[in-house]
Structure 1
């Protein structure tokens, strides 16, 4: 059986942490902008670091597993 957790967790985090979709850190005028649909190089870097930290914690430390079938 294949473990589908990396696929589901990675997809969910990618959607939720896309810069400008739900929030953007750092924002254009403030520290956090919500729903701006804009992005910058700094926000892409920060969101990538947050993504890496969360996926590492969920897959390696917590060991989230999803088995289908």
Structure 2
């Protein structure tokens, strides 16, 4: 069974969107962890844990965003 060729216009759009949205989501979530740690004067270890937890949440958000983006603008086709 032959596959459809790769549409490089869609691929480049999806890569650009992944970079843009990924930077925004992970950066904002990391900054939120840092800000909450500073605001509540938490221990540095707890502050780092919040940063890591929030950045993981940002990566999960990016995963679901990209899954939807690929569904709406397929790479092959």
Kindly indicate whether structure 1 or structure 2 has the higher relative contact order, using CA contacts under 8 Å at least 6 residues apart: 2
Greater per-residue helix proportion: 2
TM range (shorter): 0.3 to 0.5
Normalised TM-score (structure 1): 0.47
Higher Cα Rg: structure 1 or 2?
A: 2
Normalised TM-score (structure 2): 0.44
Greater per-residue strand proportion: 1
